[in-house]
Structure 1
């Protein structure tokens, strides 16, 4: 789900918390050694996201925030902030070309640049995949 998160709207906050859970507290952020990664360059995106990014002439950048049940990919267009809310059960993460990761949710996607020397990006993507795997059901009764 793609949402405008520029304003402090309780209804939007409820939607986000329902999809991916509330933000981690300070203790959990320290324990995990950070829950986000910023200044990722967007190389390609779905038409809905591209229409927003085309509104200004700046370099298209995004950030990723971990939540208990998913991730939020945030980006700016003009003066508004947008978030692509992706629960783990809808997240598809691919390592495309040698220098690119693709993040999918249904018909939305964002591709980000990840050069070989960007160890921080590669390690963060591994953390996302580990968090997604920990959320997966382990028994048939859990489905």
Structure 2
């Protein structure tokens, strides 16, 4: 689900919380050594996201926030902030051959550069958390 998250809207917040859970508490964030990624440079993306990113001439970057039941990938275009909401059961993560990770959900995808140890460490943390907390049956959704 691709949403404009620039403005505080109760309905959008409710949709995001239903899809990926409420944000972690401060204590949980501390225990996990942070839940956000470093700045990620976008190499390639799906058509819907590309159409938003080409509206301005800024460098295409994003960041990932971990949530209890999924992730939120945020990126900016013009003066708007957009979020790609991905629950863990729909998250597909691929490691590319030239230092890149590709994050997929249904028809959406974002390929980001993974040229630093901090980025690789974050994706390892994300995969470990996903493996520990992914639903095992339909009743867990």
TM-score by length of 1: 0.93
Structure 2 unaligned spans of 5+? none
Matches within 5 A, 1:42-81: 42-81=42-81
Partner of 2:125: 127
Matches within 5 A, 1:6-85: 6-85=6-85
Separation in structure 2 between the aligned mates of residue 141 and residue 20 of structure 1, nearest angstrom? 16
* Cα deviation 1:38-69 (Å, max 9, x = unaligned): 32100000000000000000100000000000
SS at match of 1:120: helix
Structure 1 unaligned spans of 5+? none
SS at match of 1:38: coil
Separation in structure 2 between the aligned mates of residue 141 and residue 26 of structure 1, nearest angstrom? 29
Inter-CA distance 79–95: structure 2 relative to 1 (3 Å threshold): same
Inter-CA distance 91–58: structure 2 relative to 1 (3 Å threshold): same
Inter-CA distance 9–142: structure 2 relative to 1 (3 Å threshold): closer
TM-score by length of 2: 0.94
Partner of 1:105: 105
Inter-CA distance 50–141: structure 2 relative to 1 (3 Å threshold): closer
Inter-CA distance 73–139: structure 2 relative to 1 (3 Å threshold): closer
Separation in structure 2 between the aligned mates of residue 72 and residue 142 of structure 1, nearest angstrom? 20
